[in-house]
Chain A
Amino acid sequence: MSEAVPSPFPLSTTPMVRAEAVCKSFGHVDVLKGIDLEVAAGEVVCVIGPSGSGKSTFLRCINHLEKINAGRLWVDGRLVGYRERGGKLHELRDRDVAAQRRDIGMVFQRFNLFPHMTALENVVEAPTQVKGVRKDAARARGVELLERVGLAERVHSYPNQLSGGQQQRVAIARALAMEPKLMLFDEPTSALDPELVGEVLDVMRGLAESGMTMIVVTHEMGFAREVGDTLVFMDDGVIVESGDPRRVLSDPQHARTQAFLSKVL
Chain B
Amino acid sequence: MASPPGSTDTATRPAPPEQIKAVPVRHPGRWVATAIIAVLAAMFVHMLVTNPVFQWDFMLDNMFTPAVLRGARTTLIMTILAMVLGVLLGIVLAVMRLSPNPIVSGSAWTYIWFFRAIPRIVLLFFIANLGALYASYDLGIPFDQQLMDFFGFEADWRFLSLNGNQIFAGFTAGLLGLALSEGAYMAEIVRAGIQSVDPGQAEAASALGLSRGKTMRRIVLPQAMRVIIPPTGNETIAMLKDTSLLIAVPVTTELNFQLRAIGSRTFQIIPMAVASILWYLALTSLLMIGQYFLEKRFSRGVGTRETRAQRAARRARGVGGST
Q: Which residue of A lies closest to B207 (CB)?
A: A106
Is B198 a contact partner of A112 (Cβ separation < 8 A)?
A: yes
Least CB distance, B128 to chain A, in whole angstroms: 42
Least CB distance, A56 to chain B, in whole angstroms: 11
In the assembled complex, A137 has its CB within 8 A of some CB on chain B: no
Binds A, one of B227-235, B249-257, B305-313: B305-313
B209's contact among A98, A157, A160, A161, by CB below 8 Å, is which? A98
- Across-interface contacts of B205 in A (CB, < 8 A): 114
Distance between Cα atoms of A129 and B208 in the complex (Å): 10
Distance between Cα atoms of A102 and B206 in the complex (Å): 9
Distance between Cα atoms of A122 and B312 in the complex (Å): 20
Is B209 a contact partner of A114 (Cβ separation < 8 A)?
A: no
Is A98 a contact partner of B206 (Cβ separation < 8 A)?
A: yes
Q: Give A contacts to B, CB under 8 Å.
A: 63, 65, 94-95, 98-99, 101-102, 104-106, 108, 110, 112-118, 125-126, 129-130, 155-161, 174-175, 178
Give the number of A-B contacts (CB < 8 Å). 82
Known: A118-B309, A125-B218, A158-B307. A94 touches B211 (CB 8 A): yes
Binds A, one of B50-58, B91-99, B158-166, B296-304: B296-304
Distance between Cα atoms of A112 and B223 in the complex (Å): 13
Q: A112-B198, A114-B219, A116-B222 are in contact. List 11 more A-B contacts (CB 8 A).
A: A65-B207, A95-B211, A98-B206, A101-B207, A104-B207, A114-B223, A115-B223, A130-B214, A175-B207, A178-B208, A178-B209
Distance between Cα atoms of A44 and B4 in the complex (Å): 64
Least CB distance, A168 to chain B, in whole angstroms: 12
In the assembled complex, B200 has its CB within 8 A of some CB on chain A: yes
Known: A129-B218, A158-B300. A112 touches B201 (CB 8 A): yes
Least CB distance, A106 to chain B, in whole angstroms: 4
In the assembled complex, B278 has its CB within 8 A of some CB on chain A: no
Is B309 a contact partner of A156 (Cβ separation < 8 A)?
A: yes
Distance between Cα atoms of A106 and B210 in the complex (Å): 13
Least CB distance, B280 to chain A, in whole angstroms: 34
